[in-house]
Chain A
Amino acid sequence: MSIGLNEFLAVSGLLFAIGFFGVLLRRNTLIIYMCLEIMLTAVAIALVAFSRFNGSMEGLLLVFFIITVAAAEVAIGLAIIVALFRKRGTVQVEELNSLQP
């Protein structure tokens, strides 16, 4: 059994990088939001792995709170996106430029 901490950290880092890639690349607010969720999940994987290999509960409890906050964040963010769509009729980032002079 040769799976150590480094393998889990590699998966977590790659997943975080893919989520970051999506946040930069996509122009649809919903997809950007999904990529943010992917980044949060990557951090959660790293924390659980650290917790297991250090033999402490702190990382697991931090993941517990991350999941709670992420649920609240998704609810608020999607409500904001719906309000934005109702007001502007689009969720594409490049068309949401009403603050530009």
Chain B
Amino acid sequence: MSGWLLYLPSFFMVEFLFYFLSALILGSALMVVLNRNPVNAVMFLLVVMGGAAGLFFLLGAYFLGVLQILVYAGAVVVLFLFIIMLIAPQTKLKPSPGKTTFAASAAAFALLAAGALALAGAGSTGVTLGEAAPVGHLSKEYGYYLFSVYLLPFLVAGFLLLIAMVGVILISKRFPREEQA
């Protein structure tokens, strides 16, 4: 079938995939920020989340990659689309932000990016992706840790989801007495 893929050197595939996914993620994130249409921004957010899941796969965290696609691409993006459909049918586009705002934001972005890049380039450990042993590529390990070491945070996360559900219902409920006042 696709036997020719097996003959490609694997380092080429990993390097190519890393740079391709990184460029995709960073470009799409910039488009989320700079796009004027909220629907297009959500679609680029979908690309960012998918690319991040690809990076997770590349790092060997298959479970987290699938979780990222399920939760972000499956639930969060659809929720954003619903909300945009509900509240933002604005046909006229808002004026772009002022020059001062743009300059200040760009300066903050440049400072943060320069700091992050300087920190990331500050000296390599010398260990490459192929030499580091993959960890967490079995879902069994997550189950073991979640039900032994991280049992309390796991239960708290469950309660947090319950509280979020009740809170959303409460927030989006209409109170007739309040609206009359």
Q: Knowing A3-B14, A60-B64, A76-B167, say if A17 contacts B38 (CB, 8 Å).
A: no
Whether the pair B97, A71 counts as a contact (CB closer than 8 A) is no
The binding surface of chain A is classed by DSSP as helix
Among candidates A8, A55, A61, A91, residue contacting B87 with C-beta atoms closer than 8 Å: A91
What is the count of residue pairs linking A and B with beta-carbon distances less than 8 angstroms? 239
Residue of A nearest to B38 (CB): A30
Among candidates A18, A38, A64, A79, residue contacting B142 with C-beta atoms closer than 8 Å: A64
Whether the pair B136, A51 counts as a contact (CB closer than 8 A) is yes
Residues from chain B with a CB closer than 8 A to the CB of A20 are 108-109, 112
Interface size on B, residues (CB 8 A): 84
Interface size on A, residues (CB 8 A): 69
Q: Knowing A3-B129, A13-B116, A53-B125, say if A22 contacts B142 (CB, 8 Å).
A: no
Which residues does B use to contact A, with CB under 8 Å? 10-11, 14-15, 18, 22, 25-26, 29-30, 32-33, 38, 41-42, 45, 48-49, 52, 55-56, 59-61, 63-64, 67-68, 71-72, 75-76, 79-80, 83-84, 86-88, 94, 97, 101-102, 104-106, 108-109, 112-113, 115-117, 119-121, 124-130, 132-136, 141-142, 145-146, 150, 153, 157, 160-161, 163-165, 167-168, 171-172
